[in-house]
Amino acid sequence: MSKPIKTTSSKIDAAPTPHNTPSSVLGSSYLKNGNPARNIPQTINEEEINSALANNPQLLASIQDKLGDLVGQDSGYVASLPGAVRDRIYALKKLQRDLFEMEKEFQLEMFALEEKYLKKYAPVHQRRFEIVTGKQEPTAQEIEAGKDEGDQLDTLAEEPEEDEEGADNAAEDLKGIPSFWLTAFENLPIMSQTVTSADAEVLEFLTDVKLEYLTEGKPGFKLVFEFDPENPFFSNSQLVKTYYYQSELGYSGDFIYDHAEGCKIDWTDNESNVTISVEKRKQRNKTTKQVRTIEKITPVESFFNFFDPPKLPAKAKDASGSGDENEDDDEDEEDDEEVAELESRLALDYAIGEEFKDKLIPRAVDWFTGAAIEFEYDADQPDDEEFDSELDDDEEDDDEDDDEDGDDDGSENDFASAAPGTKEQPPECKQN
């Protein structure tokens, strides 16, 4: 992973940008006339400022409100430019639109190229399916080529010496690779907290996960989950999840997620449905004394809710205008919170789909063995050695400062109070 680029602040006195004022308007400023500039303190004590803000929360809130109002405000610089310069800016916007159209064409061609190669991948994926399900055994050539990849699978556990004959017989009865997709799911970080113990029993019957691109209408893709026909939990042989992108590109030049559609799962019965909790209780009729059983059904968290994606409803508009304003404000706040929660769930749903598409399906065996986890964290985590060395240097500097600033009596309590990390820090000023 490349190191972050360190930038140093630079002072730009007269550069006309939307965030500072051209120097031509400073003709009557105090600084130019040299009036009270010498009375301005040359240094600012940050600790004193933080202490003052901590002791005056109203001042802190006022500053935060002011800073919040400044965000996104137009300085008026562009509007003050001469007409000829503004016309050149319009021309640049036209050129940017041309680039945007070419970016869309590029993205569409990329989808077509991915679909072309997905068809080329099909025989390899089919061969993987046959070996995982035990329909066919791998060839000696495939096994040797796999060993050349460098992963020594037999170093993790030793074969038992006792009852070798019984172990051989059990291995002969074992077909394919047990719990292949379930194990891969549980090793994928975004899925590890989604699959429950009840889901695991169902996913034992998952035989394959496939990817298909949409060829008509909006761009998008399908995730097809194939299950063993002897699956006792539901009658579906396939569960399908479809992701649609918007027709137009986003500002970043990529297609934007629009919505997802799942499929209905035909559960065998409520007891087999892992997306609900069933509580049974008996009820006696006071008149007839007959007893009946009532089922109380409660939705629960489950991976299979993935096939019933959240939908963002259109916000209802109240055209009547009646009612108390405070009540309307409270309802609007509740609606905003619900919309924010739904948007978060939609983002997670889309992220899971992309993880299946880009990581799990093409690298399934590495997620099964756990080898992909190492690459996942190596790519996302910073260099630990670099941080450790910097921390050691900082600790040495702090120790030297403590030795210089320590009291003469050298008491242990005084030294402990001056140790790094024990000093109370001023409250942080967070800008909204």
84, burial (CB in 10 Å: exposed 0-12, middle 13-18, buried 19+): exposed
Q: Write down the pLDDT at residue 47.
A: 74
Give the domain extent around 130.
Answer: 94-144+176-262+304-312+339-380
Q: What predicted TM-score, i.e. pTM, was given to this entire model?
A: 0.64
**Does residue 367 sit within a domain?**
yes
Those residues with Cβ within 8 angstroms of residue 373's Cβ, 6 or more apart along the chain or in another chain: 187, 189, 367
Task: Give the pair of three-digit tokens for residue 403.
Answer: 């030795």
**Does residue 226 sit within a domain?**
yes
Split at pLDDT 50, 70, 90, the class of 417 is: very low
Q: Give the count of domains, the chain.
A: 1
Q: Is the pLDDT of residue 268 over 80?
A: yes
Q: Is the pLDDT of residue 102 over 50?
A: yes
Q: Write down the pLDDT at residue 22.
A: 45
Distance CA 235, CA 229 (A): 8
**Does residue 79 sit within a domain?**
no
Q: State the average pLDDT over residues 94-109.
A: 89
Q: Write down the pLDDT at residue 124.
A: 95
**Does residue 368 sit within a domain?**
yes
Split at pLDDT 50, 70, 90, the class of 197 is: very high
- Please report where in the chains the tokens 């030795």 appear, as a residue: 403
Largest CA distance in the chain: 101
Q: Write down the pLDDT at residue 242.
A: 95
Q: Is the pLDDT of residue 243 over 70?
A: yes
**Does residue 55 sit within a domain?**
no
Split at pLDDT 50, 70, 90, the class of 414 is: very low
**Does residue 420 sit within a domain?**
no
Q: Is the pLDDT of residue 25 over 60?
A: no
Of 30-39, 55-64, 133-142, the one with minimum mean pLDDT is 30-39
pLDDT in tens, 343-388: 888 888 999 999 999 999 999 999 999 988 888 765 555 555 444 5
Q: Which is it for strands 206-213 and 220-227: parallel, antiparallel or unpaired?
A: antiparallel
Q: State the average pLDDT over residues 163-186.
A: 77
Split at pLDDT 50, 70, 90, the class of 4 is: very low
293 beta partners: 282
Split at pLDDT 50, 70, 90, the class of 299 is: very high
**Does residue 295 sit within a domain?**
no
Half-sphere exposure of 44 (CA within 13 A, CB side): 6
Those residues with Cβ within 8 angstroms of residue 429's Cβ, 6 or more apart along the chain or in another chain: 50, 53, 60, 63, 64
Q: Is the pLDDT of residue 394 over 60?
A: no
Q: Is the pLDDT of residue 272 over 50?
A: yes
Q: Write down the pLDDT at residue 266.
A: 95
Split at pLDDT 50, 70, 90, the class of 49 is: confident
Of 28-32, 111-115, 153-157, 165-169, the one with minimum mean pLDDT is 28-32
**Does residue 49 sit within a domain?**
no
**First and final C-alpha spacing in the chain:** 31
Q: Residue 254 is part of a domain; what is its CATH number?
A: 3.30.1120.90
